[in-house]
């Protein structure tokens, strides 16, 4: 039996990197946010490394004080990925689209158009947006959770029905006979739900993969699991430990099973933030030169994670033997791995520079460090694939492709190249056109 292989995705946001200070580095174009050549270059580098997809999260709002930090979002995911589609050949293009604020007809139209123009490489990350800044931009309060999820079920059902409404053999385009469309195969869907509705049909033919692949991103709440279990082919998540990831992956697979699907049809995708450098020390110095990791608040937070009182100015010494013996990791899922780093004897500054308080696990150092992490998680059934966020994209994507990917390939746990042309091929998920006949209509009728 061929060995199971992991897949990788690359996060695409504002073009700078996952480190807040990436935009300030002298070799980084400070206009990367609007310079699509930068996005294209990053996409081409990821494609060179055989990445299965690019992933653009989307929070269309100014959500924090951006006086000194960047926007951390693309200007517009669909337009960015459309530009990238024209400059790449294989890599999948996964954009986020809100089931809370967007109309299903718009979603169906834009995503299927992206799928057709990219020759079957599009994915839709269907999110139940709950961010108050985003809601305000749509002139609305944050909707009640129950309403958001009911609307999400209806929206995905209507979108998938619209995708299938131009049936596979509808487009005759016979110049001789003059028949353009076989109207028996281009039909309205006439769906009317409680929240959304559409008559259809959608005037877009199938792509090389039929229709876009549906993704979910979120935490494992029962509502989210029920949604993803029914419709999604990939579940993007943030987890810090292998046991946490194993439990979530099992829950996601179980949700698919309960919806009458094969659990292998939904892939579990875990985040990783990377700093690739010749040595761990060089990687820590690279991170420290960007600041961000080391602030007085983070020293205090680290102390809380260890159940210790750490003074904010206490940066240059490691934890003493007594402190390490007294340390009790808090409930924070990052606490145990942070303590492991502290036990290696790093100073408080260097412990923080390992990214122990970041929003995903962080790996720092030569290619082997990153490859070991990915292999350990993959072989523990904690992930089917990973979404990678390099610290500074300018050189971080190429470094990952040149230093990490060859090791993964050597170890036989990562494909040598693309074996197919579509996103479905890269993820190893089955064909689907229109709604999944195994999933009974929940709310839309
Ligand atoms: C890894 C991850 C990525 C997410 N990406 C987005 C996103 O791009 N846009 C968005 O509006 N919400 C995003 N979310 C938020 C979720 O879709 C969801 O709305 C949020 O976790 C609130 O949960 P709830 O809807 O179950 O209350 C993301 C969540 C996670 C964990």
For 66, counting Cβ atoms within 10 Å of its Cβ (0-12 exposed, 13-18 middle, 19+ buried), the class is: exposed
Measured in Å, residue 128 CA sits from the centre of ligand 1 at 7
| Nearest CA, atom 31, ligand 1 | 218
DSSP helix, strand, coil percent of the chain (3-state; round to 5): 40, 15, 45
Measured in Å, residue 323 CA sits from the centre of ligand 1 at 37
Vertex 109 angle, CA 425 and 209, to 5°: 15
- Give the per-residue pLDDT at 443: 44
Measured in Å, residue 152 CA sits from the centre of ligand 1 at 13
Residues with Cβ within 8 Å of 151's Cβ and at least 6 positions away in sequence, in order, are 99, 100, 128, 143, 195, 196
Mean local confidence (pLDDT), 358-371 = 96
Question: Quick one: pLDDT band at residue 442, thresholds 50, 70, 90?
Answer: very low
E-strand stretches of 32-170: 53-56, 92-98, 122-127
Q: Is the CB of 130 under 6 A from ligand 1?
A: yes
- Give the per-residue pLDDT at 441: 59
Is residue 339 within 8 Å of 347, Cβ to Cβ?
no
Task: Give the DSSP per-residue string, 381-436.
Answer: TS-SEEEEEES-HHHHHHHIIIIIHHHHHHTT-S-SS-SSSSHHHHHT-----SS-
Measured in Å, residue 66 CA sits from the centre of ligand 1 at 21
Mean local confidence (pLDDT), 218-228 = 97
Distance CA(261)–CA(435), nearest Å, equals 13
- Give the per-residue pLDDT at 1: 62
Q: Is the pLDDT of residue 292 over 90?
A: no
The overall pTM is greater than 0.85:
yes
Ligand 1 binding pocket mutation candidate from 14, 57, 148 (most atoms within 8 A of CB): 57
Three-state DSSP class for 183?
A: helix
Nearest atom within ligand 1 for CA of residue 98: 11
Q: Is the pLDDT of residue 137 over 80?
A: yes
For 34, the token pair is 């609007």
> Which residue, among 237, 261, 264, 260, has the nearest Cα to 248 in the 3D structure?
237
């Amino acid at each position: 039996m061929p060995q199971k292989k992991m897949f990788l995705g690359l996060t695409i946001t504002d073009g700078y990197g996952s480190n807040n200070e990436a935009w300030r580095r002298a070799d980084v174009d400070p206009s990367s946010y609007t310079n699509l050549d930068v996005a294209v270059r990053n996409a081409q580098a990821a494609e060179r490394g055989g990445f299965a997809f690019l992933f653009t999260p989307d929070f269309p709002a100014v959500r924090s004080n951006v006086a000194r930090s960047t926007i951390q979002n693309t200007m517009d995911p669909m337009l960015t990925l459309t530009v990238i589609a024209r400059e790449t050949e294989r890599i999948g293009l996964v954009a986020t689209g809100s089931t809370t604020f967007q109309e299903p007809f718009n979603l169906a139209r834009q995503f299927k158009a992206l799928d057709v123009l990219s020759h079957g490489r599009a994915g839709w990350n269907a999110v139940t947006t709950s961010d108050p800044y985003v809601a305000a931009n749509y002139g609305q309060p944050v909707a009640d959770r129950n309403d958001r999820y009911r609307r999400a079920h209806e929206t995905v059902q209507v979108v998938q029905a619209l995708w299938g409404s131009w049936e596979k053999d509808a487009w005759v385009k016979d110049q001789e006979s003059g028949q353009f469309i076989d109207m028996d195969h281009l039909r309205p869907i006439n769906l009317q739900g409680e929240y959304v509705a559409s008559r259809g049909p959608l005037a877009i033919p199938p792509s090389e993969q039929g229709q876009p692949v549906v993704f979910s991103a979120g935490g494992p709440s029962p509502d989210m699991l029920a949604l993803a279990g029914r419709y999604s082919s990939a579940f993007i998540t943030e987890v810090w430990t292998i046991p946490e990831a194993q439990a979530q992956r099992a829950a996601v697979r179980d949700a698919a099973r309960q919806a009458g699907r094969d659990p292998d049809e939904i892939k579990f995708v875990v985040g990783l933030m990377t700093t690739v450098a010749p040595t761990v020390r060089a990687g820590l110095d690279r991170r420290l030169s960007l600041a961000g990791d080391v602030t007085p608040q983070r020293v205090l937070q680290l102390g809380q994670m260890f159940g210790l009182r750490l003074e904010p100015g206490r940066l240059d010494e490691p934890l003493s033997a007594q402190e390490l013996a007294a340390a009790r990791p808090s409930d924070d899922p990052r606490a145990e791995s942070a303590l492991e780093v502290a036990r290696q004897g790093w100073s408080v500054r260097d412990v923080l520079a390992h990214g122990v308080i970041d929003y995903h696990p962080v790996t720092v150092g030569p290619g082997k460090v990153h490859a070991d992490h990915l292999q350990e998680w993959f072989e523990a059934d904690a992930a089917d694939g990973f979404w990678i966020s390099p610290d500074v994209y300018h050189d971080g994507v190429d470094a990952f492709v040149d230093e990490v990917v060859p090791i993964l390939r050597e170890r036989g746990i990562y494909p040598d190249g693309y074996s197919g042309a579509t996103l479905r091929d890269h993820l190893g998920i089955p064909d689907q056109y229109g709604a999944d006949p195994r999933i009974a209509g929940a709310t839309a009728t």
